[in-house]
Amino acid sequence: MATTAKKKSKKKDSGIHAPLTPYKAKKNEEYMNDKQKEHFIGILGRWKHELMEEVDRTVTHMKDEAANFPDPSDRASQEEEFSLELRTRDRERKLIKKIDSTLELIDQDDYGYCDSCGIDIGIRRLEARPTATQCIDCKTLAEIKEKQEHG
């Protein structure tokens, strides 16, 4: 029975059953080994699953709450509420795309390496932002440069 439970937790499909604890790298452990990849697949899968559930809740809420109020103020309030919800869902839709592209990077063995300089992004940074594509130094430089260009 313990073997069956172990096999289920190693599923790579969605990762929604992966543990919530931060990854503890062992001394001299190879960077982005299978265990680490599995850990981040779990984080990303769980995150995507939560976002998808939120989309479903929004659709249900909007269907249930949609009403044609005779009072223009009530109608305007409802439209504003729906507009805010849709903007939030649009940001989440973009995040889901980013999660999907990150999962693609893991499949291609390119995950965890800086797009700018090629060095390891680092487990701790990836724990904080699993979709990170730059190491902290390159990201900091990019933000400084952006600030200088855009005021």
Per the CATH hierarchy, to which homologous superfamily does domain 31-111 belong?
DksA, coiled-coil domain (1.20.120.910)
- Amino acid found at 129: R
pLDDT of residue 112: 97
Residue range(s) in the chain whose domain bears CATH number 1.20.120.910? 31-111
Distances (CA, A) of 13 to 33, 98, 107, 116: 18, 17, 12, 29
Question: pTM for the full model?
Answer: 0.78
pLDDT tier for residue 25 given thresholds of 50, 70 and 90? confident
Return the H-helix or E-strand segment holding 36.
Answer: helix 34-65
What's the pLDDT tens digit per position in 32-88? 999 999 999 999 999 999 999 998 888 888 887 777 788 889 888 888 998 999 999
Other residues' Cβ atoms within 10 Å of the Cβ of residue 46: 17
C-alpha span between 106 and 56 (Å, rounded): 27
Q: How far is CA 140 from the centre of its chain?
A: 21
Cα–Cα distance, 47 to 150 (Å, whole number): 32
